[in-house]
Structure 1
Amino acid sequence: MNNEVKVTHTLADPSPYGLFGLAVITFVASTQKLGITTGVSGLIPWAIFLGCIPQFVAAIVDFKKDNVFGATVFGSFGLFWFAVAVVWLISVGVFGEDMKNTLDMKQFGVVCVAYLFLVVPLTFGAAEAHKVLFFIFIAVDVLLVAMALNYFGIAPKETQLVAGISELAAALIGFYGCAAGVLNKNLGRVVLPVGKPLGIFKK
């Protein structure tokens, strides 16, 4: 008789790691929109190493865990921040003056609209996960709308302020969500509550 030994590998929830990456880059980027810091050169490393990589890693793990929602969100925004970093590199002339001079930021506004087609429907899904995730999505919804309007030149001062505030809100809620995910799992009990699902869309 052959005794079969099955080895199982348990993958940890990557959400806190992905949320931390999201929180850091949105926190830093919000300071530029709010006029606390200036320029984008200092944002590029954080966009790549915190905005892109942690969220993309979280997406890969979520794909392996068959978490389509998490994989889609983290994967989409991991690549979003990598693309943002490249746009910023173009804007500061890293790829030459020709690319810098022909950069049309209205195209960035179009991207923000495109992401709304993803984020708005998934906001309903977030509502059935927990309230922390739902409020992050609401903040991101507002951020994308404000950024799109800003890059299209519509009320630039006002929309930049709204974008900065909503981005800061997303960051702070993201930090809380990260801490809750780590501590609640590590301590085996609810230390930082994330709120129950709204129970509106899912029966």
Structure 2
Amino acid sequence: MTTHETAPREAPMSRPLPGAHIADPAPLGLAAFALTTFVLSTVNADFVPQSLVGGALGLALAYGGIGQFAAGLWEFAKGNTFGATAFCSYGGFWVSFWWLAEKDLGNLGPEGYKVVGVYLLGWTIFTAYMTVAATRVSGAVLSVFVLLTITFLVLAIGWFDKESSNWIKVGGYLGILTALAAWYTSFAGVTAFTFKRQVLPVGPRA
């Protein structure tokens, strides 16, 4: 009776995750967002005179804009749609803010103020739906997006009603809280890599 030997089947090779060799770009994107937001928010909160807002413009372009956009491109390489959409979008926000601020916001007049209000309202809408997606990332990331949505909304109201500076000042305080939340989340990501374990809690996703 003839026996037929069969070659052992090869175990199916698992496909590596996209961009697995690339370092996590999220801490960079969050840090760039945090610092730029912090500096501008100190102006909105009147900790720094409004006349010095120009000092934040270089930071807005180089770090908040280009730095975040670069982080978003690396998120694309890693296959992270959420991170890519967020960082590229907010990188674009800071570049557009840099261009807008170069137009001397203080001399826009009532109609110009409404344009800035609409601009900020649009970012409120975008941030609100990104907040829904953030519920599936982590508690820390969710806190950043919740705070940022409220910040954009309050600032939008402030620009629609520019005669009252209180709304913008409140938006400045909220922006500082948003920056602190973003810094914490960035710090948690950096230390998780350097310590090879999660050092700071980031909270569970929903």
Smaller-chain TM-score bracket: 0.7 to 0.9
Question: What's the RMSD between the two structures over aligned residues?
Answer: 2.0
Query: Normalised by the size of structure 1, how large is the TM-score?
Result: 0.85
Which residue type is aligned with residue 24 of structure 1?
Answer: L
CA contact (8 A) 2:113 2:162 kept: no
Query: Normalised by the size of structure 2, how large is the TM-score?
Result: 0.84
Residue of structure 1 in register with 2:64 after alignment: 51
Name whichever of 101-110 and 67-76 sits farther off.
101-110
Give yes or no for the alignment of 1:176 onto 2:176: no
Among residues 112, 123, 146, which one is paired with 2:120 in the alignment? 112
Among residues 78, 92, 105, which one is paired with 1:79 in the alignment? 92
Q: Supply the distance in 2 between the matched residues of 1:130 and 1:41 (Cα, whole angstroms).
A: 35
Which residue type is aligned with residue 122 of structure 2?
Answer: A
Residue of structure 1 in register with 2:104 after alignment: 91
Aligned partner of residue 141 in structure 2, secondary structure: helix
- Describe how 1:107-146 pairs up with structure 2 within 5 A: 107-146=115-154
For structure 2, the residue ranges without an aligned partner over 5 or more in a row are 1-18
For structure 1, the residue ranges without an aligned partner over 5 or more in a row are 1-7, 94-99
Residue of structure 1 in register with 2:29 after alignment: 18
Deviation at 1:158, TM superposition (A): 2.6
When Rg is computed on C-alpha atoms for both structures, the one with the higher figure is 2
**Which runs of structure 1 show a deviation greater than 3 angstroms over 4 or more consecutive aligned residues?**
100-103
1:13–1:177: structure 2 CA closer, same or farther, 3 Å change rule? Answer: same
Output one character per residue of 1:128-170: Cα deviation in whole Å (capped at 9) or x when no partner. 2111111100111111101110110167333112201110011
